[in-house]
Amino acid sequence: MSLSKIPGCFEFSELKKSFFPHLFNSKENQSYAGPFPDPKYFNPDDMSAAARAAFLEWQKGQEGKVFNFQDEMLSYCRYVNKYCRYPVGHPKIITDQFGDLNDHFGIIKCKILPPRGLYLPVLPLRSNGKLMFPLCRICSEELIQSPCRHGDDERSFIGTWVTEEVKLAIQKGYQMLKMPQPPRKKKCLRIKQQQDRESVQRRREAESTEERESRQRENREREQRRREAESTPERETRQKENREREVRRREAESTPERESRQRENREREQRRRESESTPERETRLQQVRTGRNPTRMRT
């Protein structure tokens, strides 16, 4: 079932998923705000007759309205928008000398050999008009329920998936036999994370020294009250979750993002030390000497 049909199953009249101009998604248009893009950017030629009719009806209702690219992107999946990567720009088609799969990010078309006996298969395959997760192509085509006795050539299949799916599948025992055509994006971007950094930077540049000191003091007091109120198991759980979240975030970020984060941390620590008073500095130095510095800079 497509996502656009789910609201109807619950008798919702609002078309929340709506239509999105995917062909309009380019770097130069990410700050666009104005009339709705031309219908060609919605790729109506690839829609079914019913979907195309629904799109044209929806398009008529958008006349005179403003299309804000950032608002459209941020209205969906805020966590994903902030912490996950997006492909941007036109895809680069690679047909040979593609190198390591881990160096690619985008869509890949390849031939895959599934493992035997995997309880939860990873890669989907459309067979007999249905989306399945088979470990054998012939078994899925002929709907065979008995134990599979086919060879590797009969079990393997060709499909198109997201590169991250294939990377996970390889970890689970899948083998990539052939990579006919892996298109990938030139660059990936975390849209909301970048916007949040710019917004915070503008706000901090606009506030005065007194406002900054007041905000920092309130944050420290709030954090102190929260930590005093939580129990030991809650504290241990929170610290464990923070460590796991930090590990996942660092594994996902690229080298330029890591260098940018480290540079921002150093600048933030420098500003904090310049703004702290003499008693605060003495307290911090005392904590450093005793090995208890809760505000130690992390990179």
What is the reported pTM? 0.43
Comparing CA positions, the residue from 107, 218, 222, 120 lying closest to residue 166 is 107
Contact present, 138 and 132 (Cβ < 8 Å): no
Task: Give me the pLDDT at residue 122, please.
Answer: 94
Task: Give me the pLDDT at residue 182, please.
Answer: 46
Report the distance separating Cα 175 and Cα 115, nearest Å.
8
* 37-69 residues labelled b (16+ CB within 10 A) or e (exposed): beeebbeeeeeeeeeeeebeeeeeeeeeeeeeb
Task: Give me the pLDDT at residue 140, please.
Answer: 92
50 and 118 part of one domain: no
Task: Give me the pLDDT at residue 14, please.
Answer: 57
Number of domains present in the structure of the chain:
2
Which residue range forms the structural domain that includes residue 123? 101-177
Q: Is residue 73 one of the residues assigned to a domain? A: yes
Task: Give me the pLDDT at residue 180, please.
Answer: 53
| Boundary residue ending a domain (117, 147, 177) | 177
Task: Give me the pLDDT at residue 3, please.
Answer: 63
Q: How far is CA 177 from CA 96, 160, 232, in A?
A: 14, 14, 51
79 and 45 part of one domain: yes
Q: Which residues of the chain have pLDDT under 70?
A: 1-8, 11-17, 76-79, 81, 179-197, 199-200, 288, 291-299
Neighbour-count burial of 205, counting CB atoms closer than 10 A to its CB (0-12 exposed, 13-18 middle, 19+ buried): exposed
Instruction: Find tokens 């660059």 and name the residue.
Output: 187
59 and 110 part of one domain: no
What is the CB neighbour count within 10 angstroms for residue 206? Answer: 8
| Boundary residue ending a domain (22, 57, 83) | 83
34 and 73 part of one domain: yes
Q: How far is CA 206 from CA 192, 209, 217, in A?
A: 21, 10, 18
| Boundary residue ending a domain (19, 48, 83) | 83
Task: Give me the pLDDT at residue 105, please.
Answer: 85
